[in-house]
């Protein structure tokens, strides 16, 4: 290796690619590296809701169909402290924002890709805004001409999984319900509190949570927990206590799963909101499920030495389900992702490199 995995990870961690920023610098770093190693690149950009330009690309080496994709996201969650951009090693761990999620795994995958010869087509997909709702992946899956032309078969999302192949993950359903009232001094009868209008709906949601935790038709036993983890947050936009709230909003979130009545959940919540004359909107970030008995999952199990499993969090992989089948596999633990003292174990980082390398060497298209 010209640059070892640790040095590569350090380079990436030093780049501030928090989701609110442009990710141009890290995209250029990865893109230049792949370009220097014979990859063809297609770069696509869009402006996010704050008019910040975001960069995404598809890179490929080889022209055979049914290639292997390495799927990476370039952004991180916000910094817990400024020195998270100053990576350091202590007690066999590499510390810094993104060391675990997912700049360490990216470094392992990039070095494995560069260092390994393959007769099959190798594809690298790098996205933006995964941490804020998979916007980059959705955009790239929709707009990339090169990805449609390549038609890869299998993908690996290089998220931290403790090097365990993950064949299924939950999605996220989001529903926003808003009540409108009239602001006035609370000592008068001139106001109309939006908070009171929301109360019947909140009671309905609390009963739904009870039902979902009991009724197994809303559950999927391959996940831990098997329930959809229905959750709510509420705001009246910091209305003073002596003012009737002009607007009150409830955000509902649940973890969507295959064969767990996801559409029914969204419909019954939306129907109740409409019955109560509340404003409602919804969005669904789909779950992922790959056949655990498929040859590729078995290959990943054999090389990693770990059995396939499921996870409760969401990844970009679900956005590409119509383009290629995916597993999630990478060094690091989700328990360390997004934390104030985020780190990745250096030995596990090196093992990730070895595993990615062996998968590339052994990947064959029938």
pLDDT tens digit sequence for 22-49: 999 999 999 999 999 999 999 999 999 9
| Burial class, 138, CB count within 10 angstroms (exposed 0-12 / middle 13-18 / buried 19+) | middle
Same domain, 205 and 158: no
Same domain, 144 and 185: no
Q: pLDDT tens digit string along 204-262?
A: 999 999 999 999 999 999 999 999 999 999 999 999 999 999 999 999 999 999 999 99
Strands 40-47 and 343-345: unpaired
Predicted TM-score (pTM) of this structure: 0.90
For residue 297, give the CATH number of its domain.
3.40.630.10
Same domain, 20 and 133: yes
One DSSP character per residue, 263-280 reads HHHHHHHHHHHHHTT-EE
Same domain, 121 and 134: yes
Is residue 155 predicted with pLDDT exceeding 90? Answer: yes
Last residue of a domain, one of 285, 304, 324: 285
- Number of independent structural domains in the chain: 2
Is residue 156 predicted with pLDDT exceeding 80? Answer: yes
Last residue of a domain, one of 265, 285, 305: 285
Domain that holds residue 203: 172-285
In the chain, which ranges are continuous DSSP H helix?
5-14, 24-36, 103-115, 135-143, 145-150, 194-214, 262-275, 295-304, 346-362
Tell me phi and psi for residue 358, to 5 degrees.
-70, -35
In whole angstroms, what is the distance from residue 99 CA to residue 326 CA?
23
Same domain, 131 and 253: no
Same domain, 305 and 274: no
| % of the chain exceeding 90 in pLDDT | 98
Same domain, 164 and 198: no
Q: Strand pairing partners for 156?
A: 70, 327
């Amino acid at each position: 290796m010209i640059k070892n995995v640790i040095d590569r990870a350090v380079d990436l961690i030093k780049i501030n690619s928090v989701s609110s920023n442009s990710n141009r610098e890290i995209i250029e770093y990865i893109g230049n590296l792949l370009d220097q190693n014979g990859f063809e690149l297609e770069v696509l950009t869009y402006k996010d809701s704050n008019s910040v330009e975001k960069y995404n690309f598809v890179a490929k080496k080889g022209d055979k169909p049914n290639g292997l994709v390495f799927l990476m996201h370039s952004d991180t969650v916000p910094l817990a402290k400024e020195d998270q951009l100053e990576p350091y090693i202590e007690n066999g761990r590499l510390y810094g924002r993104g060391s675990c999620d997912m700049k360490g795994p990216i470094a392992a995958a990039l070095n494995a890709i560069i260092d390994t010869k393959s007769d099959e087509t190798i594809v690298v997909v790098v996205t933006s805004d995964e941490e804020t709702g998979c916007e980059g992946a959705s955009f790239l899956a929709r707009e990339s001409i090169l990805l449609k032309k390549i038609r890869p078969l299998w993908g690996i999302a290089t998220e931290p999984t403790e090097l365990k192949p993950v064949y299924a993950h939950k999605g996220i359903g989001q529903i926003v319900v808003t009540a409108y009232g009239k602001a006035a001094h609370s000592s008068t009868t001139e106001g109309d509190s939006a908070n009171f209008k929301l109360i019947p709906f909140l009671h309905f949601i609390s009963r739904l949570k009870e039902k979902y935790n009991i009724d197994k038709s809303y559950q999927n036993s391959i996940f831990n927990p098997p329930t959809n983890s229905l959750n709510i947050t509420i705001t009246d936009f910091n209305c003073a206590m002596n003012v009737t709230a002009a607007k009150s909003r409830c955000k509902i979130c649940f973890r969507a799963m295959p064969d767990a009545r996801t559409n029914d959940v969204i419909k019954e919540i939306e129907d109740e909101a409409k019955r109560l004359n509340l404003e409602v909107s919804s969005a669904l970030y789909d779950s992922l499920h790959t056949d655990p008995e498929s040859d590729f999952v078995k290959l990943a199990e054999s090389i990693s030495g770990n059995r396939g499993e499921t996870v409760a969090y969401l990844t970009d992989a679900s956005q590409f389900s119509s383009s290629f089948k995916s597993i999630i596999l990478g060094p690091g633990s989700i328990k360390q992702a997004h934390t104030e003292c985020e780190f990745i174990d250096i030995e596990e980082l090196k093992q990730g490199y070895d595993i990615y390398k062996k998968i590339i060497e052994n990947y064959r298209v029938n």
